[in-house]
Structure 1
C-alpha cells in the first residue's frame, strides 16, 4: 500500500495556491488505485482547464491508498492528510472532486486551507454528515446519471443552505455519470470555478434553492471525441512532481 499524496501536473515557481482534483472510485475496495484507471484519467482534462484558468496556481491530482470508500471514508481521510501536510507555502486549495471524489471533497471542505469546493456528480447518500464548507461551493450533476443520484445532491445542498452555507447547484441536461456528452461544458465549469475561487472576491451567482441549468458553451460531443480529449490531456500534462504524506491517515 502506497501512502496518499498528490501528483502535480503544474507547479509554477512561487505558487501559493493549489487546485486539487479528487477522482472517483468504488463503494468497497482495498485494491491499488493505479494511475491508468478510467476514474483517474477522466480528471486530466479538468487539470488542463484549471492550469489554463489559473496559471499561477499549482494543479495536482490526489492519490488515494485504496480504490474504495470502504465504510470508513478512506479517501476523505487521505485527502485531509494531504491538506494537513502540504508545504506551508501552499495557503489556499480549491477542491474539485467527481463521484466518490466529490464525496471526499465535501467531507473535508471545512479544512482551513480550503478556498472553494466543486463537486461533480458527487456521491452523497442519505444521511451523509453535514460539513461547514469553506469558500464558494458548487455542485453539478447530470440529469441522466444512474450511478449517483442528482436528487441526493440537491437534497444535500438544501441541507447546507438551511445551515447557512450558500450553494449553487447545476443540472447538466442530458449528461451521464462519466461526463462524456458535454465535456466542454464541464471543463468550462471547472475553469470558471477555479478562477473565481482564487482570483475574485465575488463568488459568482448563488442559487437560493433547487437547481439551475448548466449553460451550454459548445456543441455536445461524440463519445470517441470525448475519450480522445481525455487521452490528449493525459499526454500533454506529465506529472512534474510528487508529494507524499509522511504520516499515516487517522483510522
Structure 2
C-alpha cells in the first residue's frame, strides 16, 4: 500500500477556499493540499469538454503530489467534469483513488430545509446550464420543484473585492428578483458557487427573512466526515499532521492577497505550472 498523503482540494480559483475552511474546521487532523487553477479562470463560461480537460489535468497533478482523495470544491467542475472522471478516468488507474464533488452533498440535504418544496439555485452559467442540481435533487426529493438563475457578475464582484460595496446591490437584487419571479413560493436558496458565501450579507438584504440561504461548505464538510467514516480503505490513505499547503497556477502574490479575504488568515502559496 502506498504511503498516506494529503486530501486534495481543487477549485478553478479562490472560491473553494470557503469549502476548505469548513472542512478544516470539522476535520482539522488531516493534511490538505489546495490547488487553484487561477491562470485559466473563469470555468463557468467554458464548454463541458474544456472544463473536463482542465479539471482532470489538475486532479492528476494532485494525484502526483501524493493525494489519494480529491474534492472538487467547485460547482462548475463538479457539474461538468466529475462524472467523466469517476466513470472513465479513475477506472483506468492501477490503485485506489477517489474524486468527490460538492453538488451531491448539497442535493442530499436540501430537502431538510424546504417546507414549501420550492428551491432556488443561484450559480454560474455553466452550473445552471448543466442542470446538475435539478437532476441530483430530483433523485433524493422528487417532490421538490427547482428553479435556477445564472449570476454571471457575482464571481467578478467577489474577486474584485466589491462584494460588500454599493455597486454590488444592482446585480444581486436583479438576479434575486428574477429567480423569485419564477416561483414566489421559494423558501430555500442554494448558493451554488463557492464564491457566493462572501455575498451572503448582501443577499440577505434583498430576500425575506423566511428564506433559508444554504452555503455549501458546512454541508460538504459534514458529507466528507461521513464518507471517511464509511470508507476506512480511503481514510487510511489520508495523512494526519494537521498541515495545509496552497498552490496556484497564477501569481502567488495575487493568490495570497485574495485568499486572505476568503479564509480570513494569511496564506503563503506556491506556484504550480500546468
Instruction: Give the TM-score of the pair, scaled to structure 2.
Output: 0.46
TM-score (norm 1): 0.49
**Greater helix share, structure number:** 2
Structure with higher RCO (Cα < 8 A, 6+ apart): 2
